[in-house]
Amino acid sequence: MLEQTHDQDMKERIQAILGVMGGYWDAVHNRILDLLAWGDIVEVKAPEGIEGLRAFADELRQRVDQLREQFLRELLIERRPVGTCVARFAVSAQKLFEETAQRLEQMGIVYSERVREVTIRVLQEWPHEEGPFCPEVEAFRQKLTGEYLKEE
């Protein structure tokens, strides 16, 4: 019985690790760098410019790595409960997400027309069975669609 409990605990810890180690945050960092490499970011109005955006992407990656390291330390070394570790990571990641969104908004990033068109199309084709957009995405969709319609 004790061995089954240990095995179940290890399975839960492995699942938690897999959930934290990939996904969204790597995509944000990589997407910023991809957009820069592809020329899809036309301008960054903030004083630090495009180099500042590149530096911010690297900073974001470092901060995510720090969150992951803290998560792993709590989960594997300190042996805290899986749920506690996941919840702490989720709260920290949410704060970082909010900071990131605010900072990107403040940078005044100007995207190429192709990016705007693809983004509008993706948002318009969002399957309704997936549920509504969160308020932030809905506001972004309305802003983007409004700007697009003004230009036509």
pLDDT band at 1 (very low <50, low <70, confident <90, very high): low
Average pLDDT, the chain: 83
Q: Minimum mean pLDDT among 8-22, 74-88, 98-112: which range?
A: 8-22
pLDDT at residue 54 in the model? 92
The pair of three-digit structure tokens given for residue 78, joined into one six-digit string: 């300190």
Residue ranges of the domains in the chain? 2-111, 112-152
Cα–Cα distance, 5 to 56 (Å, whole number): 43
Residue scoring higher pLDDT (54 or 15): 54
Provide the 10 A C-beta neighbour count for residue 64.
Answer: 20
CA angle centred on 22, ends 17 and 27, rounded to 5°: 160
3-state secondary structure of 1: coil
| Contact criterion met (CB below 8 Å) for 45 and 108 | yes
* pLDDT-above-70 percentage for the chain: 91
Structure tokens at 22: 């990939």
Burial of 148 (0-12, 13-18, 19+ CB in 10 A): middle
